[in-house]
Structure 1
C-alpha cells in the first residue's frame, strides 16, 4: 500500500515523508518514535521540582504582559495556587495575551526552573483543564521531523497505517513466542507507537527488539557453523622485518597493543582462518595494530585490504601507511580505492591490484566492487560499521579464497555483552591509551554556563584550535524543546565574530556532502562544526580540542563517551563540556560518571547498570550495530534469551527445513542479504 493512499498525504506531503526515508505504509509502521511525552497529574506549585518537566494548574493573577527584551517579545504571567506562585514566560508569542486573562484557569506543562528564588517555567504548553484531564497518564509519541511536517501529522498518518496495513506471517516459531510470552506483532507495532502505559510500551518494544536480536543471533550461529575451525589457504610465517618495523616506531606500543599484535600474528600463522575482533577504547591505537597485521601479510607475499567507513578516513589511513612504508624502506606498494577516483586512475589501480603490483589496498566499500579483482587477498581489516552480510562475504570469498578477517571496534561494550554480540569471533581488547595522549578534561554544566562555554571555545579558536558542538536533533521539533543543528548554526553565527567559520553536519545530508564538510574541517577551513551524532564514527581531526554536547542528559553514557573520542586525538590538551539542560538529580548523577572517568569500559558498565527498562524519555540514538529499536545495553537479558533460542532452533532444525520454519528461513535469508552487521 502506498503513502498517498492515506488521507491527508498528497504529492507534496509524500515528498516530505520521503526525506525521512518513508516511502510506503510499511515504512511508516516501522518509523518508530524517538521518545515520548508523559502526561502526569498536575502538582501544586509548592511541589514543583527544578529541572523536571511537570504539569501545574492554577489561576492567573493578572492579564498577560508583553515586553520587548533584547530584541525579543516576552510574554509573561503569574500563576498562583494555595501552595505558591509561579512565573511563566514565552518568547515571540504575543498572541497569547488574548488568551491569558486574569482569573482564568489553565494547565501548564514545561520544565521547572528558578530565577532569584522565584520558581519559573519557560515556553510551556498550555491546556484547558478539561483537555489535559483526557491526557493524564498517557504517553504521546514524538517523531523525527522535517520542516513542513508536524508531529501531529505523523501521528495521524501512523494511526491510519496501523488500521489498514497488512501484516506478514510471524516468523518467530510459535513455541518460542509462547515460552517467551511475546506480544503479537500487530499489537506490538500498535502499542510501541501508542502505548497506554509505560508497562504496555515495555512489552511492545521488547517484542520488536526480540525480533531484531533473534535474527541477529541466528545469523551469528549460522556464521559460526560455517567458519569454525576452517583451514586457511594462507598460512603466514612471522617475518623478522615486522619485528624491526615495530622497534623503529617513533613511539612505544602499549601493553595492550603489543599483546594484540602477538595474538594476531599467532592467528595468521596458525593455519586456520582468523576471525578476530579487536576491541579498543577510542584513541587506544587500534590502527597501528591493523597496519602491523597488513605488513605481516604483505611481507609473506600476499595482499591485505583495509576498509574504512568514509573516503576521508580511508585517505588518512593511506597517507599514514605510505609514510610508514617509505620511512622503513619496505619495498611494498599501498594504493587507495574510493568511489571518487577518476576513470583512468581507477583502471590503473585495478590493474595493479589484479597483477599484485599493489600489496596493501586501502579504501571504502568500493574495495569490493565487481571490477576489483585481487590476486592474493589474504587479510581483510574492517570496522564494526562494515561487518559483512552474506553478499559481502560471498564477494570476499570469491575475491580472496576465504581471507583472514580482523574487525576493529571502538564501541566500549562490557565483556559479558561482547561475548553475546560477537559470539562468532575471537575477541582481543586494548585497554590503555598511548602515553602521549593527555586525558580529556571534562565539565558538566547547566544552561547558565553556555555563554562562558562560547567564550572558552572562542579562546581555543584564537589559539588555532577547532571545536565540535553536538545537538540531539537535525531540525526543530514542535513537541520537544531541544537544540537542533539547523537553528543552532544560525544562533551561534550571531554569537561569534564573523571571521569564525561555522558549518553544520547531520545524517540527512548526502554522503558526498558530508565528506566535503569533514574534509574542510580537517583542513581547518571550518572553526566550529555543529553536528548530530553522525561524527561518532569519524575522521581524526587532531586540531579539534573542544567538544560541547547540548542536551547531554538525552544521550546514553556510552554514546557520549564515543562522541568525546573525537577530541583528544593529539598532544594538545582537549576539553569536553556536557550541557545538562535538565539539571535534575538523576541527570547530574549519570553525567558525573563521564566527568570523573575517561575509561570507556567503566562507563559502558555504568551505562548498563543505570539504564532501566522504563528509561524511554531520552532521544533514541543509533547504537552499536544500528538496530532499529533494540539497545544492546538495555536489552542485555533479551539478547541472552535470543541467543539461547537461536542455538535451540539450529540444534533442532539445522537447515531450517521444517515447514513451520519456512517463514523464519525466508526472513533470515533477507536479513543476511541486506545486513552489514555480520
Structure 2
C-alpha cells in the first residue's frame, strides 16, 4: 500500500506529487520553494482563449495572438551580419513566419514539432510574419485545457519547467492545502476596499474564469503586500514617537563659524533641509529623518550642519558609510571643511588596526573624539560612546535594519539622520520610508557644468580616446570604470587589469592610477589624494568610486560594460563628474551585443540626467528591492505589486495601515487578531518587527 503524503503550506515543493528533489530545483529558479510559495505564484500575464486567432484570420497591422506547431526552424546570419532565427508556425488553417533579429540566444530554443503561443504585430514581407514577437513554448495538452474557463496564466518559466508543470502542481497544492490558508485581513478591511477573500483570490489567481477575476485576485495579493509593509512602518514610527530624546539648541558659535567659512551660499533646498533638521533636533523626541537628494545636490553639507549642532551641545556625532572608501572620502572632505571651526574628525573602519584602533576606541569612550566617521565596524561590541547624540547613516539603503538599529543603540535615543542619493518622488518616498520624516533637496548648486552622455561602440573607441586626449591636455582629469578587477574565464568582461594596460598604452603622456576594493586603506587614500591633487590624470577604478568622491576637475568618465549596472548605479557613477563649472562627458562603451531591452535601458540613461526620472525607471525595471535595498530593509517582500502601476492601491494600503495603528496601537482588538497572527508569520523576514 502506497503511503499517502500529506502536504502542508510550509512543505517543500518537492513533496508535491510529480515533482521530487530533482524537479524542485526548477521551481526554485522561479522563486518557489514551498507549497505556500507555489499557490502565491503570480502569472506574468493571462491569455484569453477567446482572443486567440486562427492564422488564416490574422491581418496586416493587427495585434494578434496565435497558437501553432513549429514546422521549420532555422538560424542564420543576414547580409548585414545580424543573427536571424526563423520559425514557420502552422495551425489547422494556415501558416505564418516568425522572425527574431539579433536574438542569438534563441538559436537552440525551438525545434520542429514544438507548440508555441505567439503574440505581436502582424507585418508583411513576401508573406505574413511576426517580427520579434512575444512567445511561450506550451504543451499540446494546454491548448484544449478549458475545463476551468477560457483564461489561463502564463507563469515565469525556466529551462526544464513548462506552464503545464506549474498548473498541474498548483492544482494539487490547491486541492490539498487551500483549506489551510488563513485569512489575513478583517472583514471590514476587505469590504471597504472591495477585495476578494484570500482563499477565493488564490483559486482565481490560477484558474480564473475571466480576465476581470484574474485582476481581482491580483489586486488582493498586492493589497496584502502593501498593507503589511506599511503596517510595520506605522508600528515602528508610533513606538519611536513615544521615546524621550535630546532637545538640542542651535545658537552656538560652531554652526555660525561653519556657515561663514563656506565658500558658497547654500541652495534653497539645502537651507530648507537645515531648518527642518534643526527644528527636529530642538524637540525632546528623537529625530528620525531621511535627507534625500540627487547626486551632487549637497547633502553632506546639510548633514555636517546637524553634526555641529550636536557637538556644540556637548554630544558626540557619528557618520556611518557602507564602504571604507566612502568613509575615507568623507574623512578627507570633512577634515578640510572643519579646520576653520576647530573640529577634528576621527576615522574608524575594519582596516583600523593595532595601536591606532586602541587609541581611537579610547577617545570614543572618553568623549575626546567628538566626530567619528566609519563603516559598520563602529557597531562592534567593544565600541562604546560617552554620549552619542546624533547618528548619521549615508547611503542608508545599503545597510540592514539591524545594523542601523545597532548604531542608534550606541546612544540613549540619539537623533537619527539617514542620507540617500537614490531620489524617488516624494509620494513614493513617504510610502516606502513611512517611518521617517523626509526632506528632499531638488536642485544642485549653481554654476555646475552640463554633463553630456554618449553611447560608444567598441569600433568607435579610437575617436573617443582622441577626444579625451584633447580634454586631458586642457588640464582636466578622467575616470575609467570597470565591472571587475581581474580577468574572468566565466565572464566576458573587461577587467581593471586589462583596461589599465589599454589606457596606459593609449595615453602614454598622461599619468594613470588604479583603485579598487582589494587595496588597503593607506593605498586607497594615497591614490585618491594623488588624484585629488591632479598628480594622477586618469583613474581606472571599479565601482568603489560610486559615491562620495568629489573631484571638480574631473570632467570625463568612461564606463566599460554599462549593461552590467542598473540605472541608479550608473547615475551614481556619472555623478562623480560635472561637479565643476566645465562641461563634462560620460561615455558608455558597449563592447558586444546586448538584448534590445538592455540597449533601450542604456539609451534611456543617455537621454536623462534627472535622478528622479532614472530612479523611477529603475524601480519599474528591476523592482524596489534591487534599487532601494529593500531586501536588507527588514520588511516583507513586495513581489507582486508594482510601485508605479499600483500606486493608488499602495497609498490606500498606507492610509489603512497608519489609521489602524492610530486606533489600535498594539493590534489587540479581537477583529484585528487575524492581522496580528499574520504579522507573527512575517516576523522571521521582517527585522523591523523585532526591533519595534
TM-score by length of structure 1 reads: 0.68
1:223 and 2:230 equivalent? no
Matches within 5 A, 1:122-271: 133=143, 138-142=152-156, 150-152=160-162, 156=166, 159=169, 162-163=173-174, 169-186=182-199, 188=201, 199-228=212-241, 232-271=245-284
Q: 1:490 to 1:270 in 2, by over 3 A?
A: same
- Partners in 1 of 2:67 and 2:303 — Cα distance? 58
Q: Which deviates further from its counterpart, 270-279 or 7-16? A: 7-16
Aligned with residue 575 of structure 2, among 568, 571, 578: 568
Aligned with residue 598 of structure 1, among 609, 629, 639: 609
Q: 1:621 to 1:116 in 2, by over 3 A?
A: farther
1:279 and 2:292 equivalent? yes
Q: 1:457 to 1:668 in 2, by over 3 A?
A: farther
1:649 and 2:656 equivalent? no
Aligned to 1:477: none
How many Å apart are 1:430 and its aligned residue?
0.9
How many Å apart are 1:252 and its aligned residue?
4.5
Matches within 5 A, 1:523-602: 540=549, 545-546=557-558, 560=567, 563-571=570-578, 573-575=584-586, 598-601=609-612
1:381 and 2:395 equivalent? no
Aligned to 1:298: 311
1:628 and 2:638 equivalent? yes
CA deviation string 1:213-266 (max 9, x = no partner):
222332333334334486533523333233333333355432322332243234
CA deviation string 1:489-544 (max 9, x = no partner):
52779xx989559xxxxxxxxxxxx9659999998999697x9xxx9986659777
CA deviation string 1:458-491 (max 9, x = no partner):
7788778456699xxxxxxxxxxxxxxx999527
How many Å apart are 1:645 and its aligned residue?
2.0
- Partners in 2 of 1:116 and 1:541 — Cα distance? 58
- Partners in 1 of 2:494 and 2:130 — Cα distance? 26
SS state of the match for residue 293, structure 1?
helix
Aligned to 2:649: 638
SS state of the match for residue 645, structure 1?
helix
Aligned to 2:333: 320
Aligned with residue 443 of structure 2, among 402, 408, 432: 432
Q: 1:469 to 1:343 in 2, by over 3 A?
A: closer
Q: 1:194 to 1:499 in 2, by over 3 A?
A: farther
Aligned to 2:511: none
Aligned with residue 368 of structure 2, among 357, 361, 380: 357
CA deviation string 1:69-92 (max 9, x = no partner):
999997657789999977667759
How many Å apart are 1:379 and its aligned residue?
0.7
**Contact persistence 2:319–2:373 (CA under 8 A):** yes
**Contact persistence 2:330–2:548 (CA under 8 A):** no
Say which one has the larger Rg: 2
**Contact persistence 2:316–2:370 (CA under 8 A):** yes
How many Å apart are 1:53 and its aligned residue?
10
Q: 1:23 to 1:607 in 2, by over 3 A?
A: closer
Q: Which deviates further from its counterpart, 380-389 or 636-645? A: 380-389
Paired residues, number: 613
Q: 1:117 to 1:76 in 2, by over 3 A?
A: closer
**Contact persistence 1:377–1:399 (CA under 8 A):** yes
TM-score by length of structure 2 reads: 0.67
**Contact persistence 1:6–1:157 (CA under 8 A):** no
- Partners in 1 of 2:319 and 2:333 — Cα distance? 13
Aligned to 2:348: 336
Q: 1:114 to 1:491 in 2, by over 3 A?
A: farther
Q: 1:15 to 1:35 in 2, by over 3 A?
A: closer
- Partners in 2 of 1:107 and 1:650 — Cα distance? 48
Aligned to 1:25: 34
SS state of the match for residue 653, structure 2?
helix
**Contact persistence 1:335–1:358 (CA under 8 A):** no
Q: 1:242 to 1:5 in 2, by over 3 A?
A: same
Which of 1 and 2 has higher RCO (CA within 8 Å, sep 6+)? 1
How many Å apart are 1:377 and its aligned residue?
0.8
CA deviation string 1:76-125 (max 9, x = no partner):
5778999997766775988899849xxx9987668999999997746986
- Partners in 2 of 1:419 and 1:23 — Cα distance? 31
Q: 1:79 to 1:16 in 2, by over 3 A?
A: closer
Q: 1:131 to 1:46 in 2, by over 3 A?
A: farther
Aligned to 1:308: 321
Q: 1:351 to 1:69 in 2, by over 3 A?
A: farther
Give ranges in structure 1 of 5+ residues lacking alignment: 471-485, 502-513
- Partners in 2 of 1:79 and 1:225 — Cα distance? 60
**Contact persistence 2:142–2:164 (CA under 8 A):** no
Q: Which deviates further from its counterpart, 195-204 or 257-266? A: 195-204
- Partners in 1 of 2:117 and 2:32 — Cα distance? 38
Q: 1:452 to 1:194 in 2, by over 3 A?
A: farther
Matches within 5 A, 1:466-545: 466=479, 489-490=491-492, 499-500=501-502, 540=549, 545=557
- Partners in 2 of 1:17 and 1:194 — Cα distance? 19
- Partners in 2 of 1:385 and 1:593 — Cα distance? 24
